[in-house]
Each structure stands twice: as structure tokens, then as C-alpha cells.
């Protein structure tokens, strides 16, 4: 993301909007820092350049990696050659040639779309769905005289969730109300100046005619690196985000599921959706896919981690929280269509149908599929606060082929990023997830931050190792990645605090994924 000074956020009264968004427009000076040989003091990379000195001698085989995400652009020039294509499906003939129940699933499937071509863009957060569903029971409920302690506890929890949802919707609606006039003011000022991109001199010479115009001029004077045109674009983007939050994500009265046309309460239903895998916003999935499998050596853009990876696109994540039914079906689809690795760069704090997801995770594990999941960006301890989906199958059972990934960065003191979740028992390892440059829709490239970027780094390393040693099992690949990490024995800043802790205490392995060491260790398994 482009960072501006705090005065901008304070002047418009919406400071939270300019926190780390995860998306950056500018290319960093060292775009692929995380792949290169590292300097122990400054750069904890995955040593990919060294790994390829080994991999190039091993004749790696193709391997299918499913990207379960919010949509991926399959036509990006740096991804197109490395997209998975269903060999049993004839493209665009409107026939289910392979009889798998998914018509024209040539590069994957979209579980949040309808047969009529409709596509779910934004959706509620899971807490909002819970409030809506439980409201059918508790609206008008009288607690007086009720002796059922379990029912009373559920009612109290419902009231807390409802209050949280109401407060957040009101907060974002108020921020939206404050920002819209400022954008209208900038639009008016640009019209008066007769240009969409006035120079600094033109802005300086402009005489403000209202308090709103004075605020805009003041913001620009305190943020000299930003033009008025840039400010207009930034605020328009933030308004769009606020509209989604207030009118969709936190709106109990909004439920887009009818677009899909399934029986939502039937978690055993699998055959629904459409083949529009890009969705209305393919940035996130495209960025993830590029980290794993952008074409290497083609002289353009970026270099993906795994040269032989083929990307299968499975769309289940809206602009909001993914639904458990869709996650479960996305996993099953990927497994049934040949994916050996599944990357899942998404997560949420509630999972009302976790049993359905557990069944799908267990199905994948039994089929020998490796599941790689982002630990989350709330600087939480996953040992104390659950992040879903996860490897817990209930009854003390855990998925043996699941890897949970935290986000690291270059500097040793701040090796764990300030946003990353962590957990000595529930996060397996860390991987670079800060200033990661990768593919973006429509042939673009952008930086992004998040455990969403760290997870595909691990999925890519796993794909590289497995493509070089295809006889390995998923359990062995996980073991190799865990036992070959780069250890940092010193102390780091605990994410979200100023406290110092041992980096080895933030995950099971205590280290950062290392492609070179992983390939060397994999050789000993042969």
C-alpha cells in the first residue's frame, strides 16, 4: 500500500481506513527479495535462486496446485501458460463433457455464482449471518423466568454479536457520510481548475471558497508527495470499501445467497455454481497464483516459485466471509480433479458448519493432498483465538497434511510482521509476506502484504519440492518443509505489541521456510 502521513486520516476523520490494506501500487526496489540468497542480518529469504541450482538437475514433473480464493485471472500473460486445463472438458460448448456435474469447468469452478451467470461479489461477515439466523429465535425473546442456562448463555452471546454488528455498521456509515462530501469537493475543485491532474503550483495558487476546500488544500500541503488526482482516487477507493462494509458486510438485511440458487442449508449439496472463476475482483487470487506459478524465464513480470506448477482456480471467497459449505465443496472439487496442493489464503473467526469443512479436510488428507492455509492478519495468538478453517478435526484429531503459515519480512528484529497471527502450537512456520510483488488482473503487477502472500510462498516451495521428488507423500512434504526452516534464535517484536519474544516460540517449527534446505532434505527421503 502507499502510506500517507497521519494528518490525512485525521483530517478526514477516518483514520482506520488508512491502516495497512495489504495492497500496494508501487514496485519495491528489490521486487523479488524473498526469493534471493539472504543476508542473515537483513534478509530472511527462501533462497530460491540456490534451490534452482539443485532443481534444474532433477527433471521436475508437473504438479497441480489449486488456488481456492476470491477469483483469479486465467488470462494474465504471466500465468496463462501455467494454468491447469481440465483434459476431459471441451471449452465453452455448454456440455458437461466429463460428467462431473460442473459444466465447462475448463480451468476450475466458481461456487459463489448461479447457473444463470450471476456472481456473488460482496457478502456478509459470518457474525452477521449468525445474528440474522439467531434473530429468528431471539427477536422478542424474554429472558425473565427462563431457567435453561444453555439457552440464556446463547441469548447473551447473540446480544453481544448483535451489538458488535450494529456498532460496526453505524461506524462505517458515519465514516461514509463524512467522506462523500470531501470527494464531491475534490471533484468540484478539479472541474474549476479544468484538469484531472493539477500541478502543485496550480493547487498552491487555488483560492479555497469553503471549509471543505480548505481541508483538501490542507491535506495536500501536509502530504506533499500526493497529487490532488491521487487523493481523489484514494478517497474514491475508500468510499467503495466503506459502502461494502456498511451496506453489505455488516448489513443484516442483505443476503446475496439467492444468486447462487442452491439449498444453502443442505451442506451435502455439491453441484451448484458456474465457471466464472475470475469473479468481479480477481486481484487477490491472481496475486496468490503468481507467487506460486508465474512463468519463469519468460522475460516479463515476475518469477513464480514452482516452474512446473499448474494453477487450478476455485472461487469460494466473496468480498466478505467465505461460507463453510463453499469451502468444503471447493476442497473436494480440487481433490477430485487432481490437485496435489491446495492453497487457502482466507480465514474468519466463526465457523458454524465446521463439521462439513472438517469432512472435506479429512477427505483431502486421506487422498494425500497437502493443504496450505494463511494464519491470519489480526496479530492474534492462534493458540488462544481460533482462526477458521484449521486442522482441528474434533475429538483430538488433526489433519496431518495441513500447514498453517504466518508472515515474515526481511529484518530480523521485526521478522514476524506486525500484522501476522502466530501460535506455538497452531502456526507451523513462517514465510515472507511483506512487500511481495506478483501478478495482478489485466496483465498488471502489484505489491501486497499479508499471510495471504506467505501461504502461497509455502505452497510454491512445496510444489517445487514435490515436482522434483514426485514419489514423496503429502505427510513427508510437510515434514520436509517443517524440518528445513531457517531458524532465528534471537528475539523479535511480538506482532501487535512492543514486547520482545523468541521467534522460535511463535510457531511449531520456529523458522522461515527455506527452499534450498527443503530440496536437500527431500533428497534423503529417496
10 has a pLDDT exceeding 50: no
Max avg pLDDT among 1-15, 63-77, 189-203, 403-417: 63-77
Per DSSP, 431 falls in state E
Task: Give the mean model confidence (pLDDT) for residues 219-248.
Answer: 89
Please give the Cα distance from 213 to 52 (Å, whole number): 56
For residue 197, the model assigns a pLDDT of 86
For residue 489, the model assigns a pLDDT of 86
Task: Give the mean model confidence (pLDDT) for residues 144-160.
Answer: 95
12 has a pLDDT exceeding 50: no
Of 137-141, 316-320, 436-440, 465-469, which range is least confident?
137-141
For residue 38, the model assigns a pLDDT of 63
pLDDT band at residue 201, thresholds of 50, 70 and 90?
confident
Homologous superfamily of 31-124+272-523 = Peptidase S8/S53 domain (3.40.50.200)
456 has a pLDDT exceeding 90: yes
475 has a pLDDT exceeding 80: yes
Per DSSP, 213 falls in state H
For residue 255, the model assigns a pLDDT of 97
Q: Is residue 47 left, alpha or beta, with left meaning phi > 0 and alpha meaning psi from -120 to 50? A: left
Nearest to 119 by CA among 65, 67, 70, 174: 70
282 has a pLDDT exceeding 50: yes
Question: Computed from CA positions of residues 204, 208, 213, 215, in that sequence, does the dihedral angle turn out positive or negative?
Answer: positive
For residue 42, the model assigns a pLDDT of 56
465 has a pLDDT exceeding 70: yes
How does the average pLDDT of the chain come out, rounded?
92
256 has a pLDDT exceeding 70: yes
Of 11-20, 58-67, 132-141, which range is least confident?
11-20
Task: Give the mean model confidence (pLDDT) for residues 56-70.
Answer: 97
Nearest to 434 by CA among 30, 71, 73, 6: 30
pLDDT band at residue 8, thresholds of 50, 70 and 90?
very low
For residue 117, the model assigns a pLDDT of 94
Residue 309 β-bridge partners = 63
Please give the Cα distance from 321 to 414 (Å, whole number): 29
252 has a pLDDT exceeding 90: yes
Q: What is the pLDDT of residues 93-129, one digit of tens each?
A: 999 999 999 999 999 999 999 999 999 999 999 999 9
Kindly list the distances between the CA atom of residue 237 and the CA atoms of 23, 83, 121, 179, 410, in Å, as whole numbers in the listed order.
Answer: 12, 30, 16, 11, 29
- Residues 6 or more apart whose Cβ sits within 8 Å of residue 257: 120, 123, 264, 323
Q: What is the pLDDT of residues 478-492, one digit of tens each?
A: 999 999 999 988 899
Max avg pLDDT among 21-35, 215-229, 263-277: 263-277
For residue 226, the model assigns a pLDDT of 83
Specify burial of residue 442 (Cβ count, 10 A radius: 0-12, 13-18, 19+): exposed
Of 74-78, 88-92, 226-230, 508-512, which range is least confident?
226-230
Domain layout of the chain by residue ranges: 31-124+272-523, 126-249
For residue 472, the model assigns a pLDDT of 98
What pTM was estimated for this model as a whole? 0.92
For residue 483, the model assigns a pLDDT of 98
How many C-alpha atoms does 277 have within 13 Å on its Cβ side?
28
Of 6-15, 38-47, 396-405, 422-431, which range is least confident?
6-15
For residue 25, the model assigns a pLDDT of 44
235 has a pLDDT exceeding 60: yes
Q: Which one is predicted more confidently, 8 or 335?
A: 335
Amino acid at each position: 500500500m502507499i502510506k500517507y502521513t497521519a494528518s490525512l486520516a485525521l483530517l478526514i476523520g477516518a483514520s482506520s481506513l488508512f491502516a495497512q490494506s495489504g495492497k500496494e501500487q508501487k514496485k519495491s526496489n528489490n521486487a523479488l527479495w524473498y526469493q534471493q540468497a539472504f543476508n542473515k542480518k537483513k534478509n530472511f529469504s527462501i533462497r530460491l535462486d540456490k534451490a534452482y541450482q539443485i532443481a534444474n538437475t532433477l527433471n521436475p514433473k508437473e504438479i497441480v496446485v489449486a488456488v481456492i480464493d476470491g477469483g483469479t485471472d486465467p488470462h494474465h500473460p504471466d500465468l496463462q501458460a501455467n494454468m491447469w486445463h481440465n483434459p476431459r472438458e471441451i471449452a465453452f460448448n455448454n456440455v458437461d463433457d466429463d460428467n462431473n456435474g460442473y459444466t465447462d469447468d475448463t480451468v476450475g469452478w466458481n461456487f459463489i455464482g448461479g447457473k444463470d451467470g450471476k456472481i456473488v461479489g460482496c457478502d456478509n461477515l459470518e457474525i452477521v449471518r449468525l445474528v440474522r439466523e439467531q434473530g429468528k429465535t431471539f427477536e422478542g425473546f424474554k429472558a425473565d423466568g427462563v431457567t435453561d442456562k444453555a439457552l440464556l448463555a446463547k441469548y447473551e452471546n447473540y446480544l453481544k454479536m448483535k451489538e458488535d454488528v450494529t456498532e460496526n455498521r453505524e461506524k462505517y456509515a458515519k465514516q461514509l457520510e463524512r467522506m462523500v462530501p470531501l470527494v464531491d469537493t475534490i471533484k468540484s475543485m478539479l472541474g474549476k481548475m479544468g484538469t484531472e491532474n493539477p500541478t502543485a503550483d496550480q493547487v498552491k495558487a487555488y483560492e479555497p471558497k469553503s471549509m471543505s476546500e480548505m481541508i483538501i488544500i490542507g491535506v495536500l500541503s501536509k502530504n506533499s508527495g500526493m497529487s490532488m488526482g491521487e487523493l481523489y482516487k484514494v478517497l474514491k477507493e475508500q468510499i467503495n470499501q466503506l459502502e461494502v462494509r456498511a451496506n453489505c458486510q455488516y448489513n443484516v438485511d442483505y443476503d446475496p445467497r439467492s444468486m447462487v440458487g442452491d439449498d444453502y442449508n443442505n451442506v451435502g449439496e455439491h453441484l451448484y455454481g458456474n465457471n466464472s472463476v475470475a469473479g468481479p475482483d480477481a486481484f487477490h487470487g491472481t496475486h496468490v497464483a503468481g507467487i506460486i506459478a508465474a512463468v519463469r524465464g519468460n522475460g516479463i513480470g515476475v518469477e513464480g516459485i514452482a516452474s512446473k506448477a499448474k494453477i487450478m482456480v476455485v472461487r469460494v471467497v466473496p468480498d466478505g466471509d467465505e461460507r463453510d459449505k463453499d469451502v468444503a465443496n471447493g476442497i473436494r472439487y480440487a481433490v477430485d480433479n487432481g490437485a496435489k496442493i491446495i492453497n487457502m489464503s482466507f480465514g474468519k473467526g466463526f465457523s458454524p458448519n465446521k463439521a462439513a469443512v472438517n469432512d472435506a479436510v479429512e477427505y483431502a488428507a486421506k487422498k494425500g493432498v497437502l493443504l496450505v492455509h494463511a494464519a491470519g492478519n489480526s496479530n492474534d495468538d492462534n493458540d488462544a483465538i481460533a482462526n477458521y478453517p484449521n486442522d482441528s478435526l474434533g475429538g483430538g484429531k488433526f489433519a496431518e497434511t495441513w500447514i498453517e503459515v504466518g508472515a515474515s519480512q526481511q529484518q530480523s528484529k521485526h521478522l514476524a510482521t506486525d500484522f501476522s497471527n502466530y501460535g506455538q502450537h497452531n502456526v507451523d512456520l513462517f514465510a515472507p509476506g511483506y512487500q511481495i510483488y506478483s501478478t495482478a488482473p489485466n496483465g498488471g503487477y502489484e505489491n501486497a502484504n499479508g499471510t495471504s502472500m506467505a501461504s502461497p510462498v509455502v505452497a510454491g516451495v512445496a510444489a517445487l519440492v514435490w515436482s522434483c521428488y514426485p514419489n514423496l507423500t503429502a505427510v513427508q512434504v510437510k515434514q520436509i518443509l517443517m524440518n528445513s526452516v531457517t531458524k532465528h534464535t534471537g528475539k523479535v517484536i511480538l506482532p501487535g505489541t512492543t514486547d520482545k519474544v523468541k521467534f522460535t516460540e511463535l510457531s511449531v517449527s520456529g523458522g522461515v521456510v527455506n527452499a534450498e534446505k527443503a530440496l536437500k532434505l527431500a533428497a534423503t527421503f529417496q
